[in-house]
Structure 1
Amino acid sequence: MYKKILLPTDGSTYATQEVKRVTNLIDDDGEIIILSVAGKLTSSAFQSRKKVRKVNERMKREAEEAVKNMVAEFDDDLNVTPMVRTGFAAETINKVASEEGVDLIVISSSGKSGLHRFILGSVTEKVLKTADVDVLLVHND
């Protein structure tokens, strides 16, 4: 059993499988941190600051919604902490794991489709390769 588990989410529909695994692995008095990482664009000569700001705001709202939806999947008697951060996904996941002293990261092998599936796959791979704690890879079809 684990005292503190980090569960990154991208808002995909695979939450149920991850929730089952985390619920079975957490100590009775343990903490589950649900994290969504919102990307952050910077303005350039090709993009206006206003447009970039709107995209960043949308990405943050989507991350907040993903966390809210994942929290709702857990029983109320569990200690669940919602968290939204901005940055590069894999680096932020590992940074939060270190800062929060988690014992385990539970992450999906895939979540979204098309280009998003490729990107999530690379995030998962990078987390697996660079994490300083145990990582449970949840296979999703």
Structure 2
Amino acid sequence: MYKKILLPTDGSGYAEQEVDRVTKLIADDGEIIILSVAGKITSSAFQSRKKVKKVNQVLKKEAETAVSKMEKLFDPSLNVRTMVVTGFAAESINRVAEEEGADLIVISSSGKSGLHKFILGSVVEKVLKNAEIDVLLVHNN
């Protein structure tokens, strides 16, 4: 059993399988941290600061919605906390795991193909490669 599990989510439809795994692995007095990483874009010559700020607000709201949606899938008796950070997904996941003293990261692979697999797969691959703690990869089809 694990005392502290970090559960990153991007709001995809695979949350139920992840919740099931985490529920089986968490210690009775353990803590589950649901994390979503909001991307952040910066202004450029092609986009005004106002538009960039609005896009970043939308990205943060989507991340907040993702963690809230996943939190509702857990039994209320469990110790569940949500967290939203801004940054690059893989780096942020590993940084939060270290800062929070997590024992395990549970992350899913979507089983997609093509460009979608390349983009999402790179996050999972970087987390696996750089994590200093156990990582459980939940394969979803």
Query: TM-score per shorter chain, which class?
Result: over 0.9
CA contact (8 A) 2:34 2:83 kept: yes
- Between the aligned partners of 2:139 and 2:133, the Cα distance in structure 1 is 19
TM-score by length of 2: 0.96
Distance 1:111 1:66, change over 3 A: farther
CA RMSD across the alignment: 1.4
Q: Secondary structure at the match of 1:90?
A: helix
Q: Which residue of 1 aligns with 2:127?
A: 127
Q: 1:61 — aligned with what?
A: 61
**Superposed displacement of residue 111, structure 1:** 7.5
Q: Which AA in structure 1 matches 2:39?
A: G
User: Within 2, Cα distance between the matches of 1:50 and 1:20?
Assistant: 41
The answer for the alignment partner of 1:23 in structure 2 is 23
1:4-24 CA distances to partner (integer Å, 9 max, x unpaired)? 000000000000000000000
* Bigger mean CA deviation after superposition, 17-26 or 112-121: 112-121
Q: Provide the C-alpha distance between the structure 1 equivalents of 2:121 and 2:131, rounded to a whole number of angstroms.
A: 15
> Residue 38 of structure 2 aligns to which amino acid in structure 1?
A
Are the counterparts in 1 of residues 111 and 139 from structure 2 also a CA contact under 8 Å?
no
Look up the match of 2:81. Answer: 81
Return the letter of the residue paired with 2:33.
I
Alignment partner, residue 3 of structure 2: 3
- The Cα of 1:117 is off from its aligned counterpart by 4.0
Q: Report how far residue 119 of structure 1 moved.
A: 1.6
**SS of the residue aligned with 1:107?**
strand
Partners in 2 of 1:103 and 1:64 — Cα distance?
24
**What corresponds to 2:108 in structure 1?**
108
For the 8 Å contact 1:4–1:103, the answer to whether it is kept is yes
- 1:63-96, Cα deviation, whole Å (9 max, x unpaired): 0000000000000000000000000000000000
Q: Which runs of 5+ in 1 are unaligned?
A: none
Q: Quick one: which amino acid aligns to residue 55 of structure 1? A: V
Q: Is the 8 A contact 2:67 2:82 kept in 1?
A: yes
Q: Spell out the pairing of 1:90-105 with structure 2 (5 A cutoff).
A: 90-105=90-105
